[in-house]
Chain A
């Protein structure tokens, strides 16, 4: 059957509804033939870093309603016509077979359960969800917004008793084509190359293009909160710090908090339904399968996330995944919204396909994305990804939960396909000022790769860099796999993400991830303000600090119950900043040095928990192929630590110096005190046992030559 385009024109009476088999009627009444408006519209993005829209829809002249600078849709000032009023259409109400176009100057009020095959909102046109009547729009193809799609705004929300849903139906993930990069290189030093965005009928989803605006805001609801009182099997009550907007019947997620000794420590998630809410106390309809620890002010406490909103963008069910993409100068302003079953995934592609299709993606917008925000939003049960920010700047992401996805939850990246590791002008392409505040990324799986269709490799829940990362939590990363290389739940990538010294990384928590909690794998970077973070109950390092050399400094760290070291040191310091200035951890150690240090690595004010002994360690490899007596030897590199004011509980051996590959390795200990070693001075140096520096003596417990200072 030929698709029908139904036009909303100035006077519904002037509109002649077309029927199956009729010619398609355009705004001026001319006949255009059998056209499907969801197919390539000619809209393409820039390919040179410029973000000016090159197409703004079938009607480019309208600006009366939509547009970035347009006012929110005001149905008292404008004539809003009901979707479910035949008069609006001049004929039958659109059905699942109808391609709907809303032209410039027209506003359709979504105030019923509506259907369309596709919906195109031209520049200047708008579709607005009723604030008083629940509604839904089920589409069987794309929704393309050149004008404005208004499912609520931050100042004009849908109240809690009004629901609005945008539902995508009839698609299949395997049909998606994606927008793969087309320029590949890396052999020469060149800048990255942007990839034009083309609207594809195959890739069913919400496309915000041109200067289009997609706003959505339900009743204000806190996305997630830390548990102040936990729950457990047999105990269906819990308390959180903030339960604003939480209601009986809402679906909540509870994150794992168990110790790493448990086999499924990274996957002890529970989903439950709220029976009642009393302030910050929540009673669940049924008890959870696992214990989820909570406390007012302690390290080991989980999170509860509310996944239910009254404004929803979703696929029809979990078997397929539509997507949302914001390109050109489009804007997305989401507040208290639920994005469910989005992010199409072609299995066994390492989540690479379909390319650039995510639950919410900002596509190479540069500064044009600066007015977009995502607040109090729940993105869950996705095929892959969560929020993908590619070469876009200034997007605010606040109080968001991304739960149950693959590969990544929040990415801030740029595309280096064209330049590989030899990208020039990175500063023009690296995302920046995309601040993540209070974002929870939970249960991020390692996707099945191509070879063997098995989950092998790493998952990065949240890319650090590209903006601030404040008060964020990642948990359950790689729950289906384990440790892989140097990647981590929070990861500073070597390339592909930002590395602005001004980016803050504060109050961050990585817990119950199957691999490393936090890892920095950058060289030649620094931070203006120290990073503060907690990493507990992770299946590898709490914090792995590489790569080879940088000047990153941490403060007020917590690292406990991690399978490997609480803090693993690999990268040397390039500037005179303390690597750690205040920490509570089980242990810390030198994993490896790959460069001869020019100054001591400062570890200041570290308090040890007593859970692991010894507290300070280092690798005990033999020297081979180098000169172990040469402090400048590049093969058997010496280690140089300055340990200031460490605090040890009784029973913990403070130092395992042992054998080191270079005779000159030295740990300078200052401000030492230990209840088990009252005889030791406050200041001393430790050397290898056979480096018998004058004035020293062998200390058996430390397996080191100790020289008082």
Chain B
């Protein structure tokens, strides 16, 4: 059956000679998981037609890989050729799904069966934890000007069954997952959801679970029991390990994310998608973001896959600091998944994380601690119902993706701390934005501080359209609910103007300011009073970008501003 599917996926090889069934020993099934210890090799055979090769003056493989986090960590061998290090174009600190074209010598390809060997040549350590390898998600072969998509899809996870489904095997597997550590480290359940539900939800394969368990020194039989236990959990396999959790897009659902295919290629595409043009509409009402659903609005920012949620290290001292506050809160949350217990657990994790910083200056440990907390709270949200309108994050919910991002954000203050800290911050914060951007929370707590978000966006590589969107959305969000009381102060949306005033085109700066001034006029007309700090903040924001505005634009903007703030626009006369 598998062979038939593969053949259908490759209609261009139908001209191949008889006997190919026998010669293709390892058809390419995707995703191909190159997971295991250093030296792991996965073989895939593919059949090439002689006439196709005859015209080949160049050849390349177009690969889509996941979880390549370091140079020299992915190799490809074509037939008898030398190993090619293919990792370089895919390397990213968060191992995000990336596509790149790898040139190969067309002379290596032969009519008939060809052998592709994907290797994980060396053990990669990422932030102190061993990486298991990478995944090959898509493969296409380009010969000359013709591109052929290769491979057949693996069996869908919905049809996966435990390797051993007897109760004794599954109970042993549960015990291995929750109670047993073979390598002296924490149990599996320490880093994952207590039950392992995340592994089933994100459809980690038997292979990946078994290989990882064996890495942690379980025997193969034990590891298979462990995988069988995961497979037995009554959790729908909604996500995939390589699909960023909560990635916004039309197909976003639950915590599965809309898939890497929903990630827009660049900021310009975001602009086109959002407002159908390269720049902002000339007039944007204050409540324009009201119609925007951040859960489905695609972005060019890739949010973290669940692999990135998992802590790299667990330090048992976390649970004894502050008189065991974290352990107590974790136990309480496990017993009673109430909002209050979730908040207390988050609070404890944050407090221990701060203590780690002050006493040890260890940002990496703090990031791991907050990842650990985020995984547990992810499971709390799962139990709340990812598919509920609040995506499992009700008002007042711990902003756990935000808190991981904040740990990266603060690590940016420490030179040489973590790679690309602002980009990683933005990635986590966009996940928060997708799942819970604020919604004018009744509690008044901001799950996102949009001033910081804009800072991370600017430094993390977001383009002008995404920066404009974050300004529009954040300023609207912060004008609702209890935080709206800060409007007239320097702590209100006025502080969200500086970044767009630096980064947007002059026309778009003017649009942003007109929208702000219109709202300002309403506020003042309603008797609102602007603090001195507000005036200064507005003046500073204006000064950040007024020089690029034309004299006519400056005059028009001053004319559009309420009289109370015109003195703040004195810069660039």
Contact = CB atoms under 8 A, between A and B. Distances in A.
Interface of A: 186-188, 260-265, 416-417, 420-422, 449, 451-452, 454, 456-457, 481-487, 493-496, 521, 523-524, 539, 547-549, 563-564, 594-595, 612-613, 619-622, 624-626, 633-635
B537 A563 contact: yes
B333 to A, nearest CB: 13
A482 B354 contact: no
Contact of B364 (A187, A261, A262, A487): A187
A417 B359 CA distance: 21
B544 A482 contact: yes
Contacts of B411: 421
B415 interface: yes
A625 B540 contact: no
B459 A521 contact: no
Given A548-B354, A595-B358, A634-B348, A451 B364 contact: no
Contact of B461 (A264, A451, A626): A451
B343 A186 contact: no
Contacts of B354: 548, 594-595
A621 B540 CA distance: 23
B547 A263 contact: yes
Interface string B318-359: 000010010000000000000000011011101100100111
A495 B357 contact: no
Contacts of B344: 625
Contact of B445 (A539, A613, A625): A625
Nearest to B502: A482
Interface in B411-459: 411-418, 443-445, 455, 458-459
A456 B455 CA distance: 10
A169 B487 CA distance: 58
B444 A421 contact: no
A455 to B, nearest CB: 9
A613 B532 CA distance: 8
Nearest to B416: A416
B461 to A, nearest CB: 5
A493 B539 CA distance: 29
Contact of A625 (B125, B347, B417): B347
Contacts of B414: 421, 493-496
B532 A495 contact: no
Interface of B: 125, 127-128, 322, 325, 343-344, 346-348, 350-351, 354, 357-359, 361-364, 396, 398, 411-418, 443-445, 455, 458-459, 461, 463, 482, 486, 490-491, 498, 502-503, 532-533, 536-537, 539-540, 542-544, 546-547, 570-572
Contacts, number: 138
Contact of B351 (A420, A457, A494, A634): A634
B405 to A, nearest CB: 14
B416 A625 contact: no
A482 to B, nearest CB: 5
A295 B368 CA distance: 54
Contacts of B463: 452
Nearest to B571: A263
A421 B417 contact: yes
B443 A622 contact: yes
A261 B415 contact: no
A624 B461 CA distance: 31
Contact of B543 (A263, A452, A454): A263
A612 B532 contact: yes
A280 B544 CA distance: 37
Given A186-B417, A263-B542, A523-B361, 4 more contacts: A482-B540, A482-B544, A495-B361, A548-B357
Give 5 nearest A-B pairs by CB, closest first: A624-B445, A263-B571, A622-B444, A625-B343, A634-B351
Nearest to A524: B358
A311 B361 CA distance: 45
A454 B461 CA distance: 10
A619 B459 contact: no
A263 B455 contact: no
A485 B572 contact: no
Contacts of A262: 543, 571
B299 to A, nearest CB: 16
Contacts of A187: 125, 127-128, 364
A524 B570 CA distance: 43
B360 to A, nearest CB: 8
Contacts of B359: 523-524
Contacts of A620: 486, 491
Contacts of B445: 622, 624-625
Contacts of A186: 364, 416-418
29 contacts: A186-B364, A187-B127, A260-B539, A263-B542, A263-B543, A265-B543, A416-B416, A417-B416, A421-B362, A421-B411, A422-B364, A452-B461, A456-B458, A482-B498, A485-B412, A485-B413, A495-B415, A495-B416, A496-B414, A496-B416, A523-B357, A523-B358, A547-B413, A613-B532, A619-B491, A622-B444, A622-B482, A634-B350, A635-B351
B362 A422 contact: yes
Given A261-B539, A263-B572, A626 B343 contact: yes
Contacts of B532: 612-613
A256 to B, nearest CB: 13
Contacts of A486: 413
Nearest to B443: A624
Nearest to B495: A564
Contact of B396 (A494, A595, A624): A624
B544 A487 contact: no
A421 B412 CA distance: 11
A521 B357 CA distance: 12
Nearest to B127: A187
Nearest to B456: A485
A631 B443 CA distance: 20
Contacts of A563: 536-537, 539-540
Contact of A420 (B347, B413, B417, B482): B417
Nearest to B568: A261
Nearest to A548: B358
A72 to B, nearest CB: 40
A261 B569 CA distance: 9
A457 B461 CA distance: 11
A483 B128 CA distance: 33
Contact of B415 (A493, A622, A635): A493
Contacts of B398: 625
A634 B325 CA distance: 10
Contacts of B461: 451-452
Given A451-B461, A612-B532, A495 B351 contact: no
A548 B459 CA distance: 23
A696 B128 CA distance: 56
A160 B536 CA distance: 49
B561 to A, nearest CB: 16
B455 A484 contact: yes
Nearest to B339: A625
Contacts of A622: 443-445, 482
Contact of A634 (B125, B127, B347, B417): B347
Interface centre among A422, A486, A487, A613 (most CB of B within 10 A): A422
Contacts of A420: 364, 416-418
Contact of A421 (B364, B458, B459, B491): B364
A521 B540 contact: no
Contacts of B536: 260, 563-564
B413 A496 contact: no
Contacts of B571: 261-263
Nearest to A637: B351
Contacts of B413: 485-487, 494, 521, 547
A620 B418 CA distance: 32
A443 to B, nearest CB: 17
Given A494-B413, A496-B415, A622-B443, A261 B570 contact: yes
Contacts of A487: 413
A188 B343 contact: no
A485 B499 CA distance: 12
B36 to A, nearest CB: 21
